[in-house]
Structure 1
Amino acid sequence: MNKLLEVSDLRVTLNTSRGQVHALCDVSFELERGDSLGLIGESGCGKSMTALALMGLLPEGAKVSGSIRFDGQELTSLDDGAMGRLRGHRIGMVFQEPMTALNPLHTIGQQIAEPLRLHLGLNARDARAKALELLERVHLPDPARRLDAYPHQLSGGQRQRVVIAIALACGPSLLIADEPTTALDVTLQREVLELIARLVAEDGMALLLVSHDLAVMADSVRRLLVMYGGTVVEQGPTEEVFRRLSHPYTRGLFAARPRLGLPRRSRLATIPGRVPELADLPAGCPFASRCGFVVPACHDALPAQHPVGLDHTARCIRLGAVLDTPLEQGLVT
């Protein structure tokens, strides 16, 4: 495989009522053709901001530095027109809330046909026929009738299938799925994730999956990036990260997951505190105020990535102490 996406030292600065804040800092990763990569972390950690930066959909006034290379082309220097020709064509995105991603004033068929006409130059008849094929491919019930339905006439699971069909319409090389099962029940979540996995495998696409669910990541991606405070705190092959949880934040996420077989009335482990506001991010390790391994040096500067194993790194200056400590210690319950 060769590299499809290369992100190097990506930094995003936003203008807010409290001044400029750093939404992303030193985010670097690679994604090869046909490979899968997961971004995981709590709300506000930078996962969706990373996805929006790749799509060129950042808030107005956002400043971007670093590099985003897609298929050898630098994206950070492209104007809106050039990004528009990539977005929805070479790069598809499944948004987490289909009701806001779909236009309530247009039929399902019109919305699937739009990228087909815009990027592939299909006429109205051919675009409609292709839209029907896509709805059949994502297993939407009664697809011929749904073409002329409006989003509010579909269930949440059906709308998400439509969003997937739109993302796949032009045969992208990269599919970004941003919390694609957030608004769905457990049964529909599994159906949608299995559908995405099957379609990605059939088309040979690369997949970037954003989620807060460790179980989803374990089943869905080959590599994993753990994000906190706008930066990557741990990364590596998914199996290796789960086998050797190395950053205190990763350990906190793992310890806090619900598990079958726990005694009645037992409480889940929790990570103390909360994710800091972007304007309140400290100069040092962003997790320092919530960490059970913190020492004064943790507040001095953002730690570098330190090797844990083969292609596995963690951004922690106390890596040795963490790895020598049983998983359940170093957390507040």
Structure 2
Amino acid sequence: MRAPGRPVSASPLVTAQDLRVTLNTPRGPADALRGVSFELRRGETVGLIGESGCGKSITALALMGLLPEGATVSGSIQLEGRELLGLPEDDWCRLRGNRLAMVFQEPMTALNPLHTIGRQIGESLRLHKGLDAAAARAEALRLLERVQLPQAAQRLDAHPHQLSGGQRQRVVIAIALACGPDLLVADEPTTALDVTIQREVLALIAQLVAEDGMALLLISHDLGVMAETVQRMLVMYGGTVVESGTTDAVFNRLAHPYTRGLFAARPRLGLPRGTRLSTIAGRVPELIDMPAGCPFSDRCEHVIAECRRALPPAAEVAPGHTARCIRLGELPW
């Protein structure tokens, strides 16, 4: 069940408009994002879902100003009306870890193996809040206790390799929350964890977001995580949002064929032994091989010639629920 949060703000905190990112590849420039648009408000939890290679992590990196070297980006990303694209790196550094924070999917690579946990949590506190070493250490302990890390006081002087995967992820969450960010981006934060720890970490993130009233962008490939954690969801494929709406609306009417394919492929309890899971035919194409029209056209069982001509516009399924499919009115549901 999704954790209740503070009331959602009426005005957007973050606005992405027609966001486009092109990456350099050995085969030439490739479009990683193709006109992605969405809004995030304070107190709102939004999920970004899709297969690997669909553009989820590139969207997160664009929001954080961490795109790969040589990437070209156009469109707009605004934080409370302030344009972020084109900012000098010094300005991005003042935002990252302060107003914008990110929880990465692999905590062992996100943490510095040479520094203690206390020092790594305290770094952003000293940098952004001006705390001295003693005050930063005291605040680091409070944060570790808040993320429910066992034996928090003893962990301050531990190094990352001395902690379990779940404990390291709690440390990464503590670092992200240290300065009270307005936006928390969680990129597959439970990928490296076992199932029981996954649930604990997701519940912890939901609780902390609700308490602080920040906006959460949760990236996942797991529909079950979306159903339990976020209020609104964006389904991505081929570098664009193919369906978006409230989580309840999307699950009640799976409008886009890709969303239906994801839903049909989920594991379910109670199936007879030997039952094969449904799959989506084919695989996500390389960025440089993306079709000119609907990005899902090469894998869609409902494709017609018109699907391959141009990227379909977002059509309204119901108020606040849209999908990019020219056959919305024809497909049974």
Matched, 1:20 2:16: no
The AA in structure 1 aligned to 2:37 is S
Report deviation, 1:263. Answer: 1.1
Give deviations 1:211-264, integer Å, cap 9, x for gaps: 000000001110000000000000000000000000000000000000011111
Find the residue that maps to 1:177 and give its secondary structure. strand
Find the residue that maps to 1:259 and give its secondary structure. coil
- Match among 57, 62, 70 for residue 48 of structure 1: 57
The AA in structure 2 aligned to 1:280 is D
- Match among 317, 320, 325 for residue 308 of structure 1: 317
- Structure 2 equivalent of residue 331 of structure 1: none
Find the residue that maps to 1:290 and give its secondary structure. coil
RMSD, aligned α-carbons: 0.6
- Structure 2 equivalent of residue 124 of structure 1: 133
Report deviation, 1:321. Answer: 2.1
- Match among 178, 203, 208 for residue 212 of structure 2: 203
Matched, 1:263 2:272: yes
Q: Structure 1: how far apart are the matches of 2:96 and 2:261?
A: 36
Give deviations 1:54-97, integer Å, cap 9, x for gaps: 00000001111000011221110211110110000001110000
- Match among 8, 12, 17 for residue 3 of structure 1: 12
- Structure 1 equivalent of residue 248 of structure 2: 239
1:161-310 alignment, distance < 5 Å: 161-310=170-319
- Structure 2 equivalent of residue 134 of structure 1: 143
Output the TM-score relative to the length of structure 2.
0.97
What count of residue pairs does the alignment treat as equivalent?
Answer: 324
The AA in structure 2 aligned to 1:31 is L
Identical-residue share of aligned pairs (%): 72
Q: Structure 1: how far apart are the matches of 2:45 and 2:200?
A: 18
Q: Which runs of 5+ in 1 are unaligned?
A: 327-333
Q: Which runs of 5+ in 2 are unaligned?
A: 1-8
Matched, 1:39 2:48: yes
Q: Structure 1: how far apart are the matches of 2:175 and 2:202?
A: 16
Give deviations 1:280-317, integer Å, cap 9, x for gaps: 01111110000000001111011100110010000011
The AA in structure 1 aligned to 2:57 is S
1:92-131 alignment, distance < 5 Å: 92-131=101-140
The AA in structure 2 aligned to 1:273 is G
Q: Structure 2: how far apart are the matches of 1:278 and 1:122?
A: 45
- Structure 1 equivalent of residue 90 of structure 2: 81
Report deviation, 1:100. Answer: 0.3
Output the TM-score relative to the length of structure 1.
0.97
The AA in structure 1 aligned to 2:259 is T
The AA in structure 2 aligned to 1:185 is D
Find the residue that maps to 2:330 and give its secondary structure. helix
The AA in structure 2 aligned to 1:231 is T
Give deviations 1:113-148, integer Å, cap 9, x for gaps: 000000011001100110000000001011111000
- Structure 2 equivalent of residue 72 of structure 1: 81
The AA in structure 1 aligned to 2:230 is V
The AA in structure 2 aligned to 1:321 is E
